[in-house]
Amino acid sequence: MRAWIVAIAALASACSSMEAPMSKPEWTLLIHGGAGVMRRAEMTPEMDAAYRAGLNDALEAGSKVLASGGQAVDAVEAAVRVLEDNPNFNAGKGAVLTREGVAELDASIMDGRNRKAGAVAQVRTVKNPIRAARYVMEQSGRVMFAGKAVDEMAAGAGLEIVPPEYFITPRRLDALKRAMAGNLQPMDRYGTVGAVAMDKQGNLAAGTSTGGMNAKPPGRVGDAPIIGAGTYADNASCAVSSTGDGEYFIRASVARMICARVAMQGMSAEQAAQATLDEVKALGGTGGVIVLGRDGSVALSMNTEGMFRGRADATGAKSVGIYVDE
């Protein structure tokens, strides 16, 4: 009996010395600016600083919404719009170009409260495709529109319209020329921006926007506007935004699969993200994801050399990164 009492006392002592589980922050925001081949030797100090400043600007925009009690979906849109307006990222202004030398833009957004979603593809004149995707989600009664219909719908709704030339930058023209000459550079090929958020009410949201693949055939659509591949949010599990080889992310249903693993297998955000990226890699694809679980767990995961990414929450923590070892 004495030995039994001693054992119980020892167990109680051990339990009392364990660190109490950390409560989740009142709100959290994760962002990404695309995953891929990113080598320090190929990044000038000026480029590095510009990318990090852009990520910080997006975090600031989304954090401001969440800190003031705003909704997760508002924070996601705010963060993505900042990245769309930054010509350093492959979304909105500065997006990669098709073989014909034009930008065809895709975006999607999803509200975890009710699993409403909106997506647009092959947009050519809407300044902020994420705004058009949200309009589809909230006003159209549908989930996805593509092509000229999106530009016309957005104009009729009073969204900001710009000429197609607005999106074209010298950098992307040079990248297109290299690709057409058979000299496609790793950092020229892919890129996407996205955000996931949890607001003070515990609601989740996710959004993704992209110009797609450099020198893509006109009409090609990747995973960014595909609900369940590039974007997914459900208060019962998690919120996800993806970036990478779109065809493989579609085939693996990446965003939905991550949330399914969280909901049905009890995985953390990091565990679910890694398991799903392993599937993508087995298929032959590369990329990354940002994941925010309903329990507050987070993942900024990749199977590439880097991913432009950032994180902020109500504790005041804020960070951005580029390379896999950061």
Active site residues: 192
Pairing between strand 306-313 and 298-302?
unpaired
The tokens for 200 are 């003070």
Determine the Cα–Cα distance for residues 200 and 154; give it in Å rounded to an integer: 31
What lies within 8 Å, CB to CB, of 69 at 6+ separation is 199, 200
Handedness of CA 53, 57, 60, 66 (dihedral sign): negative
The DSSP secondary structure of 16-50, one letter per residue, reads HHSPPPPPPPS-EEEEEEEEE---GGGS-HHHHHH
Rounded Cα gap, residues 179 and 173, in angstroms: 10
Distance, in Å, from the CA atom of 93 to the CA atom of 104, rounded to the nearest integer, reads 11
Q: What's the angle, vertex CA 239, arms to CA 56 and CA 128, rounded to 5?
A: 55
DSSP bridge partners of 287? 244
The DSSP code sequence of 64-75 is: HHHHTT--HHHH
d(CA 222, CA 278): 19
Q: Which of these, 245, 231, 228, lies nearest to 285 by C-alpha position?
A: 245
Q: For residue 291, what is the enclosing H or E element?
A: strand 287-293
- Give the contacts of 265 (CB within 8 A, at least 6 positions apart): 272
